[in-house]
Amino acid sequence: MMTTIKIPYGKTFMEANVAEERIEAVLESSAHHYRPEAAEAELVKQSLEHPVGSRRLRDLAKGCHKIVIIASDHTRPVPTKIMAPQMLAEIRSTNPEADITFLIATGFHRASTQQELLDKFGDDIMKNEKIVVHNCWDKDNLVDIGKLPSGGALVINKLAMEADLLISEGFIEPHLFAGFSGGRKSILPGIVSGVTVMANHCAKFIAHEKARVGILDGNPIHIDMLYAAQQAKLAFILNVVIDADKRIIKAFAGDREQAHIAGCKFVSGLAKVAAKPADIVITSNGGYPLDQNIYQLVKGLSSAEATCKPGGVIIICAACNDGHGGDTFYKWFQEAPGGAMEIMDKIMKIPSESTIPDQWAAQIIARVLLKHTVILVTDQCDHQIAKTIGMKTAYTLEAALKTAGQIAGSHSKITVIPDGVAVIV
């Protein structure tokens, strides 16, 4: 008996037929089957009307002149078209003259294009609201406000620090080293200097046993992030939880910490799945927008790593139409003839204060490659890029499975994680 494996890929899917007896398990977040209590817009409305640990946004906005709303960038599937209009309406219900600016939290990513912003916000907001894209290297628009608990410099967007009221939108999902996304991540790495991101993403922290998916307590990366949000005076957040179709299934608004923790508990209850070790693991980055480049694949790879047997094969389906995702990231692999071991040796010797841009992604990919063979399935990316990084490649999932079978055995068991970003294995 054959069964069809269907894996998110770009805005479509990759499929392959596999003998049913070879499937060890299919690991999915219950979020993908969760039935929300109301429609998307209503869920957002209810959260804004009943914030966690905070007064309503409309009350916080009274008397404020400059209001900054931090919004996620093009790499995050946040349904801003549903969230932003309600935030604006809530603010203007008590403060119609407020000077409101959307600040795009690009973190260490490239700037969002005008088309990407239009896709995110829609025509009305693009035409009528102020939108500023954060640049983590633009010193003229950054201000130093002290030190992180880790000792790194806390340098943040000046526009945010000058706001009378700083709020943010985002979404909560498992995160491979911050525990969970959302909340305080809008500040760090969202709108801080590249110097601050690098201090927080140092080799020591990335290797820390608590810097793992689903863990907040004792996580040094989270501790830094939370402190940055406190110092920035992030006053209110609106974070949503989404399913596989990128639809809102729950919304949490209110205090930057209390609302975020409530959301993380909800996500954890849905996303935790027991590992089912297998010689072959098939996964993805959940499709668009998180599978646009290889840099982002550390997320899906980390989930697969947690259930792949030592020496096993990880197959990851991802469009990677943007290529490697960053010259500084790719350079690690271009300049390492010794491969993953050489990269890991170099990175672990770098002091925290000397962190190099994007070394954290190279560190995690090297960690995975030292234990597993990785096959990238894509028909939208130059395969030579993936090969330089140390991955094998295939144009189809069926071809990848054939290669995996040659390595691990043609009858080896397979664990499938359709959306590697959505689970805590």
User: How many other C-beta atoms are found inside a 10 Å radius of the C-beta of residue 203?
Assistant: 21
Q: How many helices (H) and strands (E) does the chain have?
A: 16, 18
Helix ranges, 236-352 (H): 258-271, 298-305, 327-334, 339-348
What is the structure's pLDDT at 252? 98
Along the 425 residues of the chain, how does pLDDT read in single tens digits? 999 999 999 999 999 999 999 999 999 999 878 999 999 999 999 999 999 999 999 999 999 999 999 999 988 889 999 999 999 999 999 999 999 999 999 998 889 999 999 999 999 999 999 999 999 999 999 999 999 999 999 999 999 999 999 999 999 999 989 999 999 999 999 999 999 999 999 999 999 999 999 999 999 999 999 999 999 999 999 999 998 888 999 999 999 999 999 999 999 999 999 999 999 999 999 999 889 999 999 999 999 999 999 999 999 999 999 999 989 899 999 999 999 999 999 999 999 889 988 899 999 999 999 999 999 999 999 999 999 999 999 999 999 999 999 999 999 999 999 999 989 99
Find where tokens 């799945």 sit. 273
For residue 157, give the H/E element and its range.
Answer: strand 153-157
Find where tokens 């770098």 sit. 350
Structural contact between residues 324 and 310, judged by C-beta atoms closer than 8 angstroms: no
Active site residue 109: yes
Question: What burial letters (b/e) apply to 285-312, b meaning 16+ CB within 10 Å?
Answer: bbbbbbbbbbbbbbbbbbbbbbbbbeeb
Catalytic entry in 33, 74, 134, 175: 175
Q: Is the pTM of this model over 0.85?
A: yes
* Alpha-carbon span 44 to 49, nearest angstrom: 9
Q: How many CA atoms lie within 13 A of 169 on its CB side?
A: 29
Q: What tokens were used for 379?
A: 């028909």
Triad 104, 109, 110: Cα angle to 5°: 85
Query: Burial of 54 by CB count in 10 Å (0-12 exposed, 13-18 middle, 19+ buried)?
Result: middle
Instruction: Return phi, psi of residue 320, to 5°.
Output: 50, 40
**Looking at residue 377, what DSSP letter applies?**
E
Catalytic entry in 109, 134, 222, 260: 109
* Alpha-carbon span 78 to 88, nearest angstrom: 16
Active site residue 324: no
What is the structure's pLDDT at 142? 98
User: Looking at the chain, how many residues does it have?
Assistant: 425
Q: What tokens were used for 227?
A: 């402190």
What is the structure's pLDDT at 75? 81
Q: How many CA atoms lie within 13 A of 46 on its CB side?
A: 13
For residue 197, give the H/E element and its range.
Answer: helix 194-200
